[in-house]
Amino acid sequence: MKDDSKKISIIDEGFTVDGTVTGKGRVIVKGTVKGTLTGDNVIIAKKGAVYAQAKVNKMTIGGLFDGEVEVDKSLTLLSTGNCSGKILCKELIVESGGILNATVICKNKSGGFSIG
């Protein structure tokens, strides 16, 4: 059985994907994604931009995210990150300097939701 957590896919700087991106393991976005994004561990680099409907296990935003994202575990907005749209997550971490301009709904420990 293959360990998908060790896989790394990179959408590099200067590269734009317009459509559906689905990845196993770590997906690093240094370029631009428009459309739909599904993955295990998505990292949007400082110069990366995602305009999408996304469903991921874990996401780290160091660049730009604009759209709707459902995160099963944690969403981390780094100090260089800018996030707008709608977020549904279990845990939200925002570093000082990160720009969060989104509707946020956090799942509580009982599995329900609380508005943040």
Q: What is the pTM of this model?
A: 0.88
More confident residue, 103 or 5: 103
Q: What is the pLDDT of residues 11-59, one digit of tens each?
A: 999 999 999 999 889 999 999 999 999 999 999 999 999 999 999 999 9
**20 touches 39 (CB < 8 A):** no
Q: What is the pLDDT of residues 57-106, one digit of tens each?
A: 999 999 999 999 999 999 999 999 999 999 999 999 999 999 999 999 98
Of 48, 52, 87, which is closest to residue 71 (Cα–Cα)?
87
- Listed by start position, the domains of the chain span 4-115
pLDDT score of 58: 96
CA distances from 35 to 13, 31, 71, 72, 93 (A): 18, 14, 17, 20, 25
